[in-house]
Amino acid sequence: MLSGSNNGYQQHTNSSNATNSISSSSSGRRVAAAAGGTHRFRKGNNNSRFPSENGGFVRVSGDKPPTRCTDFDMAYFQSYSHVGIHEEMIKDRIRTETYRAAITQYQSSIAGKVVVDVGCGTGILSIFCALAGAKRVYAVDASEIAIQANEVVKANNLSDKVIVLHGRVEDVEIEEEVDVIISEWMGYMLLYESMLGSVVVARDRWLKPGGLILPSHASLYMAPITHTERYSESIDFWRNVYGIDMSAMLPLAKQCAFEEPSVETITGENVLTWPFVVKHVDCYTITTQELESVTARYKFTSMMRAPLHGFAFWFDVEFSGPAIFPINSHTQSPPSSISASDMNSLGSIQSKKRAKSDEALVLSTAPEEPPTHWQQTLLYFYDPIEVNQDQVIEGSVTLSQSKENARFLNIHLEYASAGRSFVKESVMR
């Protein structure tokens, strides 16, 4: 751990204060940058002020953190100190260039304005904003990668504009309102990692009325999928191994392969129906309470005869101003007056309208789009279900923050088809 004024870096005196960063765990999964799942804002008497004398970098410390930083959080922040995580994200050209395009598109809202980058990582989005003419950018991150971010800022002669704050967004002090919040907060299945809560905290603490949030909206989708090749590879392989019957391995093989969600890339050919919108997020109005648990009922009609191997989840995010009529704002399930099938159709139409909008820029992780590092998240059944064309598949899904670690995502899936009902529970760790 570095310290000392020669680095523009103040001594960190409280191990509970960590920040917001975007990255992944040792397994390579992306993790977010809020702490603990509880987000309360407190204007405290932190020891640090900014900018520092030596390049705009400040390490934040204080006597009483507003939220508890757990051992899970500390391990999470530490995982973001590895350069490989940031390399993977930056090399995802769909992700990085879409953010740069959004900054360019909203340059008139950024130039001469104050920006906060929640979970800045290496600082690339902060630098994009500074180059777009931002008056000042607060780059906030809890991981030690903030040290490198500060060096990157200095190397690009932007220390007069970009101020790197090493601490959680719940803890750091910014003594002015901001015009823009930018953050790459999305995890697998959109909500894994719980980083959106930190964006909400930043919004409620600092964003001016009418301010801009990038991205502004997000939608989580699900659809039933068929994936015979993947099932054969992982399961059917054991039926005949070099002429030896190893089918006794099948129960264990199914558990090991399909107990937890799998992050992988599929194509549109694997998808059996139009997708369903599980959750629409308006970043201008969403609350942290809404993120604790999301439940939706779905109803699909298969477009073909095929084995149903499970469900895929993916998301898109939209870069636009505050919605006049936010969809799904402060709700966790469709209104009782709207059927699941109607909501499914409505969700598909809304998605297409957003994607075709002349104004809205959309970053999509859908199977039919070019692949990103998020890929898709698949929840496989232990045994496939044969479905016919036009056969109905219905049920419900609940995604909730784990009580063990709010960064984990509990998944409770109920599904039924042709008179048979099933339940699958899983944890995304």
- Contact predicate 106/99, CB 8 Å: no
**Which of 312, 306, 291, 331 is CA-nearest to residue 386?**
306
Q: Is 175 exposed, middle or buried (0-12, 13-18, 19+ CB in 10 A)?
A: exposed
State how far the Cα of 203 lies from the Cα of 183, in Å rounded to an integer: 11
The active-site residue out of 184, 233, 260, 269 is: 184
State how far the Cα of 58 lies from the Cα of 41, in Å rounded to an integer: 20
Query: What is the three-class DSSP state of 420?
Result: strand
- Contact predicate 294/398, CB 8 Å: yes
Amino acid at 332: Q
Active site residue 269: no
CA torsion sign for 40, 46, 51, 52 is negative
The active-site residue out of 173, 193, 290, 318 is: 193
State how far the Cα of 383 lies from the Cα of 304, in Å rounded to an integer: 19
Measuring CA to CA, how many Å separate 243 from each of 115, 236, 346? 64, 13, 52
Helix, strand and coil percent figures for the chain, each rounded to 5: 25, 30, 40
Measuring CA to CA, how many Å separate 170 from each of 135, 199, 233? 23, 10, 45
Contacts of 364 (CB under 8 A, 6+ apart): 314, 315, 316, 355
In the structure encoding, which two tokens stand for residue 156, read together?
């690009």
Active site residue 368: no
- Give all strands (DSSP E) within 255-292, no chain letters: 262-264, 276-282
Query: What is the three-class DSSP state of 262?
Result: strand
Beta-bridge mates of residue 354: none
**Which of 87, 97, 94 is CA-nearest to residue 371?**
94
Measuring CA to CA, how many Å separate 66 from each of 194, 201, 302? 17, 12, 49
Amino acid at 162: V
State how far the Cα of 259 lies from the Cα of 24, in Å rounded to an integer: 21
Residues with active-site annotation: 184, 193
